[in-house]
Homo-oligomer: A and B are copies of this chain.
Amino acid sequence: MIIEVADRGTIPAVQKVLQGTHEVRKLIFPERFFVACSGDERTIDQSALKKIDGVLNIIDTNQHPYYFASRVFKEKDTIVRVGDVEIGGRRVAMIAGPCAVENLDDTLETAIGLAQTGVKILRGGAFKPRTTPYNFQGLGLAGLKILAEVRRRTGLSVVTEVINPEDVEIAAEYVDMMQVGMFNMTNTPLLKRLGEVGKPVILKRNAYSTLANLLKAAEFIIYNGNPHVILCERGVKTQETATRFTLDVSAVPVLKRLSHLPVIIDPSHAAGHRDLVPILSKCSVVAGADALLIESHVAPERMIKPGDADQALHPTEIQALMKDLQPIAEAVGRTVL
């Protein structure tokens, strides 16, 4: 249950009525004040709540399980700022970079190439979720330091994936934005920590998840204090084998209707083949995506895991893609340049 109140002064009276549930917390947004509780609602005296002066609205979270992520809470589009880039505005942002940060040289060379194309945000993984313990698990802290060094030298903002709640605080010191991978969309301890730390978060949809569940995951981050959430579609799993996943372009208009949060697309993981990335990028822009998240590497043949190399575009290919995207973006009232 969520209770909207008129001012801070009303909060203690509401908290008192809710105290029999398992957790009660206040959420303060610009000029709006809420008390939310979780757990056993059977003890709440609703008539007592309604009698409190200053209670504006009692929201049933069974009806609105992702209230703060929804248009019901906020009608206007949210813009998330990362460095000097706005995600959610008229310009479609380009986020690109290597799957994993393997060493300073390749990461820097890729970043320099991307910076020249107009890409403003570099992606690169320091912590890699892998299916076996024998795959490269990422450089960890050393990878974060490489990202920070590359940021210093190129001026790009950087985003990296986090997979362990224990690493969130340290990662937040080195990067501008954090990313939740598809398998961690439901990792609630991780989402809570990202809520507490407060830096912008890219939240990827699990390939087997509904959009409603993606929004519920976003709600965990906002509920824990961080409204800077960016939703990311990266392909859903189907019977098809010609592509690794099936990009769900409908996700963008559906999410935009339900939620005020920015929505971006990762065409690289959806396709699994670099050949399809340009055409899926074009579809994404037309569908209304606020940014594209694209794998890029200056020398895919040097990557440790050859599979990922199939997806990566060279920075010069990113540049050509942005040029091709521009007329399409203009046709739908956006820009990429």
Interfacial residues, chain A to chain B (CB-CB below 8 A): 1-2, 22-23, 36-40, 42, 61, 65-66, 102, 129-137, 139, 163-166, 183-184, 186-189, 207-213, 216-217, 219-220, 223-224, 236-243, 246-254, 257-258, 270-271, 275-276, 279-280, 282-283, 286-288, 304, 327-328, 330-332
* Residue in B187, B250, B327 whose CB lies within 8 Å of A243: B250
- The reply to whether A239 and B242 form a contact with Cβ atoms under 8 Å apart is no
Bound CA–CA A1/B216 (angstroms): 40
Chain B residue contacts of A240, Cβ below 8 A: 210-211, 236, 248, 250-251
Bound CA–CA A276/B287 (angstroms): 10
Chain B proximity of A224: nearest CB distance (Å): 7
Chain B residue contacts of A246, Cβ below 8 A: 236, 238, 246, 248, 250
A136 with B39: in contact, given A211-B242, A240-B248, A279-B288 (CB under 8 Å)? yes
- The reply to whether A38 and B279 form a contact with Cβ atoms under 8 Å apart is no
Chain B residue contacts of A254, Cβ below 8 A: 242-243, 276
Chain B residue contacts of A236, Cβ below 8 A: 238-240, 246
A252's nearest neighbour on chain B, judged by CB, is: B279
- The reply to whether A136 and B238 form a contact with Cβ atoms under 8 Å apart is no
Chain B residue contacts of A270, Cβ below 8 A: 250
- The reply to whether B212 and A242 form a contact with Cβ atoms under 8 Å apart is yes
Chain B residue contacts of A332, Cβ below 8 A: 282, 328
Bound CA–CA A113/B333 (angstroms): 29
Bound CA–CA A271/B252 (angstroms): 13
Chain B residue contacts of A22, Cβ below 8 A: 136-137, 139
Bound CA–CA A270/B250 (angstroms): 9
- The reply to whether A134 and B239 form a contact with Cβ atoms under 8 Å apart is no
Q: Which of A65, A136, A210, A239 has the most CB of B within 10 A?
A: A239
* Residue in B134, B137, B241 whose CB lies within 8 Å of A36: B134
A207's nearest neighbour on chain B, judged by CB, is: B208
* Residue in B65, B132, B243, B271 whose CB lies within 8 Å of A131: B65
Please name the 10 residue pairs, one residue from A and one from B, whose CB atoms are nearest each other, closest first.
A164-B189, A61-B134, A39-B136, A327-B331, A133-B223, A208-B208, A183-B186, A283-B283, A65-B132, A40-B304
19 more A-B residue pairs beyond the given contacts A133-B224, A164-B189, with a C-beta to C-beta distance below 8 A:
A22-B137, A38-B135, A39-B136, A39-B137, A131-B217, A133-B223, A163-B189, A166-B166, A210-B241, A211-B240, A236-B239, A236-B240, A238-B248, A240-B250, A242-B258, A249-B279, A250-B276, A257-B275, A286-B286
